Homo-oligomer: A and B are copies of this chain.
Amino acid sequence: MKIIDATDFEKMERRFRATFFNSLNGFKSVNLIGTINPFGQTNLAIFNSLFHLGANPPLIGLVVRPHTVERHTLENIIAVKEFTINQISEDFYRNAHQTAANYPKDVSEFDECGLTAEYHESCQAPFVGESRVKFALDFIEQKPIELNNTSIIIGQIKAVLIADNLISEDGFVNLEKAGTITCSGLDAYYAVKKIARLSYAKPETLPQFIR
């Protein structure tokens, strides 16, 4: 085992440090966020900082950094108060990654990166046509994190668009079947292979496999 402490952290070059700490908490969800500005200009951006915040009401949190290419997404969410989250599968992950490039504000990443803007009555913001699991959200709140000048955007899910036959009887969504990928660090993409689902944990009994 190698031990790396705060003295070592200080010596790390800026990008090394960002890559290192972005890997440490494990694999992450990676999604495309679709937005539109008040003049109808669409935007699409890849995010690996989404997290589940609650099921009732259904809430998603999203860490955003100021002064980065993510600013168009943030500006649009605050102006229009709606956005979409779209899962990424292996057949278009390179297009998805390309949305991180610093395109001018008057250009849509849908066009530049070869992805299809798709609309549904639930939301003004565009969905990604290629995505097999996607949902529309209302912007609820922006929570500042003063510690490092980031903030957390909280959205409430209002409609889910999902390919057929992905939802099990108990509500479980089969993301492996949907082809959804996961990521690590800032730029590494992975496919998944199921190990097992385990039964609800109780003292005195070991967890059993469930289908």
Q: List the interface of chain A (C-beta within 8 A of B).
A: 1-6, 9, 12, 14-31, 48-61, 63, 85, 87, 90, 93-94, 97-103, 112, 120, 122, 133, 135, 140-141, 143, 145, 147-148, 150, 152, 154, 157-164, 167, 170-173, 175-176, 180-182, 184-185, 187-203, 206-207, 210
Contacts and interface: CB of A to CB of B under 8 A. Distances in A.
A198 B147 contact: no
A180 B157 CA distance: 30
A77 B198 CA distance: 27
Contacts of A29: 25-28
Contact of A188 (B15, B27, B172): B172
Given A29-B27, A192-B190, A172 B20 contact: yes
Q: Quick one: copies of this chain in the complex?
A: 2
A173 B20 contact: yes
